C-alpha cells in the first residue's frame, strides 16, 4: 500500500510519524511531498525577522524528522482522483505522475495578498523562512538608507514601520522590528532612537484579544514603553502609493514599510511593506 502525503507542516509531519509507528514499512510505503525540504516552525519566524535567531533555527529537515518516510521536495500540481494519481513537478517545469492508494492533503494555507486593495503591489507574505529573511534585510536596508539621507524627513521616512494586526504574530513582529531597529541605532551616526517609528494598528480596543483584556492591556503598556505606537480601533483598508489608508479616512503617510499579519479560518499570515523608488512605490524584494 502506498500513502502519499502532500505538505510538510505540523499536520503532515504528525500524520506521517503516527502512520509510520502504526504500520510497518513492509505494509505501507509513505511518501511525503513538500515544496521545501524542511518544516518551518512558524512561531519563531518573528525572531528570524528580528535577527534574534538564525534562520536555520526555525527550520528542521524533514528527512531528519521522518525516518522511514520517503520525503520528496516537489510541488504537487494536481490530484487525479479518477485514476488515483498525483501530478507533481520538481521546479524544472517537467510534470511526473505517481499512483497512490491513499492521499492525504495537508497543504496548510497561503498568504492572500489580495484581501486589501493595493496590498499585492506593496506587500509580501510572512509564511516561509524567506519572508522573514526578506523582512530583516528590508529593515537593514532602510537603516542604511537613513544613514545616507541628508533630509531629516527622508530619514524618518526610512525608519518608519507599520504592523497591522495585533494578534500574537503581529505583536511579536512589531516587538522584534522595534528591538532590531532601535538597538541597531548605536551602530549608526546619522540617526537616533527618536527617529525610529514602529506603529501597530489594531481593529479592536485591546491588543491580543485571545489572552483577555487585562493581559492585553499589560502588553500594550509594555509595547508603548518600548517605543511602539499602538493605534487601536482602526483598520487598514488600502495600501496605496500614498501610504496605508485607515477606515476612518486617515492615512499613515511617510516612507514606511509596514507589516500586516492576519488570520482567517484557513490561517493565513502576511507582512506587507511599501517603499518608494524614484518617486513611485513599488513592490520589490531586496
Ligand X SMILES: Cc1cc2nc3c(=O)[nH]c(=O)nc-3n(C[C@H](O)[C@H](O)[C@H](O)COP(=O)(O)OP(=O)(O)OC[C@H]3O[C@@H](n4cnc5c(N)ncnc54)[C@H](O)[C@@H]3O)c2cc1C
* Conformation bin of residue 240: beta by default, left when phi > 0, alpha when psi is -120 to 50: beta
Closest CA to 201 of 248, 158, 140: 248
The least CB distance from residue 128 to ligand X, in Å, is 7
| Residue whose CB is less far from ligand X, 149 or 173 | 173
Q: What angle do CA 175, 178, 182 make, to 5 degrees?
A: 145
Tell me which DSSP letter residue 263 carries: -
Cβ-count burial of 97 within 10 angstroms (0-12 exposed, 13-18 middle, 19+ buried)? exposed
Q: Which residues contact ligand X (rule: CB under 6 A)? A: 6-12, 33-36, 42-43, 45, 75-76, 106-109, 126-127, 168-169, 267, 269
Residue closer to ligand X, measured from CB, 49 or 149: 49
Q: How far is the CB of 53 from ligand X (least distance, A)?
A: 14
CA nearest 286: which of 127, 140, 181, 147? 140
Pick the closest to residue 166 from 123, 116, 217 (CA basis): 217
Taking the least distance from each CB to ligand X, the nearer of 149 and 208 is 208
Instruction: Kindly state the smallest distance separating residue 184's Cβ from ligand X, in Å.
Output: 22
Among residues 146 and 208, whose Cβ is nearest to ligand X?
A: 208
Q: Contact 216/231 with Cβ under 8 angstroms?
A: no
Smaller CB separation from ligand X, 34 or 178: 34
Nearer to ligand X, 167 or 227 (CB): 167
Cβ 124 to ligand X shortest distance, Å: 13
Residue 154 Cβ vs ligand X, minimum distance, rounded to whole Å:
31
Greatest Cα-to-Cα distance within the chain, rounded to the nearest angstrom: 70
Report the candidate in 110, 48, 260 with the shortest Cα–Cα distance to residue 170.
260
Q: How far is the CB of 74 from ligand X (least distance, A)?
A: 7
Amino acid at each position: 500500500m502506498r500513502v502519499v502525503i502532500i505538505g510538510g507542516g505540523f499536520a503532515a509531519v504528525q500524520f506521517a510519524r503516527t502512520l509510520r509507528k502504526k504500520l510497518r514499512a513492509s505494509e505501507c510505503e509513505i511518501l511525503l511531498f513538500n515544496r521545501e525540504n524542511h518544516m518551518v516552525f512558524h512561531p519563531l519566524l518573528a525572531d528570524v525577522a528580528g535577527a534574534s535567531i538564525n534562520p536555520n533555527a526555525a527550520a528542521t529537515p524533514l528527512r531528519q524528522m521522518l525516518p522511514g518516510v520517503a520525503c520528496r521536495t516537489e510541488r504537487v500540481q494536481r490530484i487525479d482522483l479518477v485514476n488515483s494519481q498525483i501530478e507533481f513537478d520538481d521546479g524544472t517545469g517537467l510534470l511526473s505522475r505517481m499512483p497512490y492508494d491513499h492521499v492525504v492533503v495537508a497543504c496548510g494555507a497561503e498568504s492572500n495578498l489580495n484581501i486589501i486593495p493595493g496590498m499585492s503591489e506593496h506587500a509580501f507574505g510572512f509564511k516561509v523562512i524567506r519572508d522573514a529573511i526578506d523582512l530583516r534585510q528590508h529593515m537593514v536596508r532602510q537603516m542604511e538608507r537613513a544613514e545616507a539621507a541628508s533630509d531629516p524627513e527622508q530619514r524618518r521616512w526610512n525608519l518608519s514601520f507599520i504592523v497591522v494586526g495585533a494578534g500574537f504574530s503581529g505583536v511579536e513582529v512589531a516587538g522584534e522590528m522595534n528591538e532590531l531597529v532601535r538597538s541597531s541605532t548605536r551602530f549608526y551616526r546619522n540617526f537616533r532612537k527618536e527617529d525610529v517609528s514602529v506603529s501597530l494598528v489594531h481593529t479592536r480596543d485591546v491588543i491580543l484579544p485571545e489572552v483577555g483584556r487585562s493581559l492585553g492591556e499589560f502588553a500594550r503598556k509594555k509595547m508603548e514603553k518600548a517605543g511602539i505606537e499602538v493605534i487601536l480601533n482602526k483598520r487598514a483598508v488600502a495600501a496605496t502609493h500614498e501610504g496605508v489608508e485607515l477606515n476612518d479616512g486617515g492615512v499613515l503617510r511617510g516612507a514606511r514599510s509596514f507589516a500586516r499579519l492576519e488570520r482567517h479560518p484557513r490561517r493565513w499570515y502576511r507582512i506587507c511593506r511599501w517603499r518608494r523608488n524614484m518617486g513611485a512605490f513599488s513592490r520589490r524584494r531586496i
